[in-house]
Chain A
């Protein structure tokens, strides 16, 4: 896959997020979206008059409502503007960013607003996910979004004690980060000395995947504003520039189990993205990552894939605290997905949080070192990956 050709640079100049929570009964969907729209416009110093196009997305069927983009018009401000709806499952939020980037980079629009939302308490997540499975075959076999297979594989490879310790350590790092992010849904105040107790007592969901490892079901909205280089420089002191992004999807049937090695879509995507951007040592050339980590087992395992590591290097990164907000390679200073998971927004929050680290607007969860290059991942379906690379300097076209 060759690098995509851009007509002009695209900068992220505004980010808005609603508070993420399992209890947003006090607002309906358009109202919840409006909170983040207002915040993003404020940060960009813009009004709806400046927005040429609104791109809207969430997980299809999660709220059991069709065409939410039309229903939400009173909250999004999209009336009378170009508008697109995007829904690519768990990766929706990341694909919204790809779409907004394409719309601005191509020259079609100067300023695009992208909206990712989910109000999981109003629908039926397992219902939504199960309905996405092949109705003729796997629908009857689906376990919703839960699987313990990764836990089994990590335990097989590294032994029960080390694997379980590392996944809990990862979980507690994420909670420590979430405690610094007042928008995060689950801020549990976990301490490292609770790890063994929680790993034993937290109820098992599937195999060794326990409730404490798993992401939340959140309500929430993320809104981002994308502008052409000229507009971005006018409105924002330090935009986060979109250097590149890559989407890798597998076929809908799971073909990753069995007794042979699998090249994960994560590693495949990272390899292509890094090669075309001259990244040979991702841990040195990239300053931090926001990862779509649906559970602390996946988060742990996927560090190895995204950073193209071998052996136990990823486990050591966790054991040695490299992934902490002030570590050598911070991962999810926002608290990540185990803290907040408004699914249609989740993958976009990853890009938004990575952008905030470059823009210097992350507040209490700002990484202490200067972030020049940041990586964000989206995840969905049967192992789909979208990776986005952001930079402090405007890329050379």
Chain B
């Protein structure tokens, strides 16, 4: 454990954290946040969050995520003079461990006021207002998409074929947008195929319809199903545990849900077929 300069602003920032806890901000969070603050006023601290309580300890105590930066930058970030994300992007602030935890930490504490900075009791000016939207929606499928979705209930994947350029459309569309003709011929494709372009997603973006954040990493993937060629790919997800083996050309098959409703999620995901 390092010797701290007990009178420094950095020590004061950590020393006052327990008294500045924002109860709503730490709700449901259990994690240890390590801080390695470099420079003459630096030191190491761990902010332990559990059961709606915050305990600040000196030294690093099993941190789930560790932040490293200089004493000057840490003071500037705390006082709001330096944007944390900018410091991070420019390499001034380094993070090891679970980045997602750190994003939640922005809401843990009430604003820090340096000693002697004058009265801080004046209520903050109202400049932002929080709102949550949640609406039910219904969409018509039309007969072409309807036929495709209905087929999923029988574990069949349908494409339709352009009579001019002969390309397959997945999912089927009423017309070929490039040839501007109706596509009336349906063809069953797959259900097995190969990985074409895998996209492994590490950044957890919330589902706007449910406000739930997806588990990461997940793999959004274009598959070339049997009977398809060129750009006739189908977009779906690859099983998360198959991500380390996700490569172009690897064979896959769909895994279906127990209950089939005629929607995209009837296919749970595609999985790699073991040779």
Interface residues of A (CB under 8 A from B): 22-23, 25-26, 64, 124, 126-128, 130-131, 135-144, 146-149, 152, 186, 188-190, 194, 197-198, 201-207, 211-212, 250-251, 253-260, 262
* Cβ–Cβ contact A206 & B208, under 8 A: no
From residue A149, how far is it (CB to closest CB) to chain B in Å? 5
From residue A24, how far is it (CB to closest CB) to chain B in Å? 10
Given contacts A188-B89, A251-B177, whether A140 and B264 have CB atoms under 8 Å apart is yes
* Cβ–Cβ contact A126 & B206, under 8 A: yes
A115 CA / B71 CA spacing, docked (Å): 43
Interface size for B (C-beta < 8 A) is 51
- Residue in chain A with minimal CB distance to B175: A251
With a cutoff of 8 Å between Cβ atoms, the chain B residues found around residue A146 in the complex are 201, 203, 205
4 additional contacts (CB under 8 A) given A135-B139, A198-B91, A206-B203:
A139-B209, A149-B197, A203-B99, A258-B196
- Residue in chain A with minimal CB distance to B94: A201
- The residue that B171 contacts in the complex, of A137, A152, A260, with Cβ under 8 A, is A137
With a cutoff of 8 Å between Cβ atoms, the chain B residues found around residue A140 in the complex are 264-265
A340 CA / B69 CA spacing, docked (Å): 25
With a cutoff of 8 Å between Cβ atoms, the chain B residues found around residue A255 in the complex are 231
- Residue in chain A with minimal CB distance to B235: A141
- The residue that A253 contacts in the complex, of B85, B86, B173, B264, with Cβ under 8 A, is B173
- B161: Cβ under 8 A from any A Cβ: no
* Cβ–Cβ contact B133 & A197, under 8 A: no
- The residue that B230 contacts in the complex, of A202, A207, A260, with Cβ under 8 A, is A260
- The residue that B199 contacts in the complex, of A126, A135, A206, A212, with Cβ under 8 A, is A206
A344 CA / B90 CA spacing, docked (Å): 26
- B153: Cβ under 8 A from any A Cβ: no
Interface residues of B (CB under 8 A from A): 83, 85-86, 88-91, 94-95, 99, 127-128, 133, 137, 139, 141, 145, 149, 169, 171, 173, 177-178, 196-203, 205-209, 220, 222, 224, 228-233, 235-237, 263-265
Given contacts A136-B264, A259-B224, A260-B231, whether A188 and B86 have CB atoms under 8 Å apart is yes
Q: Which of B127, B197, B265: most chain A Cβ within 10 A?
A: B197
With a cutoff of 8 Å between Cβ atoms, the chain A residues found around residue B207 in the complex are 130
* Cβ–Cβ contact A22 & B85, under 8 A: yes
* Cβ–Cβ contact A251 & B200, under 8 A: no
* Cβ–Cβ contact B89 & A124, under 8 A: no
Looking at chain A's contact residues, is the secondary structure mostly helix, strand, loop, or mixed? loop
A357 CA / B207 CA spacing, docked (Å): 41
From residue B239, how far is it (CB to closest CB) to chain A in Å? 14
- Residue in chain B with minimal CB distance to A252: B177
Given contacts A64-B133, A126-B206, A136-B264, whether A259 and B196 have CB atoms under 8 Å apart is yes
Given contacts A136-B145, A138-B235, A259-B230, whether A147 and B139 have CB atoms under 8 Å apart is no
With a cutoff of 8 Å between Cβ atoms, the chain B residues found around residue A204 in the complex are 202-203
* Cβ–Cβ contact B230 & A258, under 8 A: yes
* Cβ–Cβ contact A257 & B237, under 8 A: no
With a cutoff of 8 Å between Cβ atoms, the chain B residues found around residue A64 in the complex are 133
- The residue that B197 contacts in the complex, of A131, A253, A257, with Cβ under 8 A, is A257
In the assembled complex, 26 residue pairs joining A and B whose CB atoms fall closer than 8 Å, in A order, are A22-B83, A25-B127, A124-B208, A126-B208, A127-B206, A130-B208, A136-B141, A137-B145, A137-B235, A141-B220, A141-B237, A144-B205, A149-B197, A190-B91, A198-B91, A204-B203, A205-B201, A206-B202, A207-B198, A211-B88, A250-B177, A258-B222, A258-B224, A258-B228, A258-B233, A260-B229
- The residue that B89 contacts in the complex, of A127, A212, A260, with Cβ under 8 A, is A212
With a cutoff of 8 Å between Cβ atoms, the chain A residues found around residue B88 in the complex are 211
- Residue in chain A with minimal CB distance to B87: A188
Given contacts A25-B128, A257-B197, whether A211 and B89 have CB atoms under 8 Å apart is yes
- Residue in chain A with minimal CB distance to B145: A136
From residue B127, how far is it (CB to closest CB) to chain A in Å? 5
A138 CA / B171 CA spacing, docked (Å): 10
A135 CA / B11 CA spacing, docked (Å): 51
* Cβ–Cβ contact A141 & B205, under 8 A: no
Given contacts A141-B264, A146-B201, A260-B230, whether A197 and B91 have CB atoms under 8 Å apart is yes
With a cutoff of 8 Å between Cβ atoms, the chain A residues found around residue B127 in the complex are 25-26
With a cutoff of 8 Å between Cβ atoms, the chain A residues found around residue B83 in the complex are 22-23
With a cutoff of 8 Å between Cβ atoms, the chain A residues found around residue B231 in the complex are 255-258, 260, 262
A262 CA / B198 CA spacing, docked (Å): 17
- Residue in chain B with minimal CB distance to A187: B86
Task: List 4 tightest A-B contacts by C-beta distance, closest first.
Answer: A127-B208, A260-B230, A251-B177, A188-B90
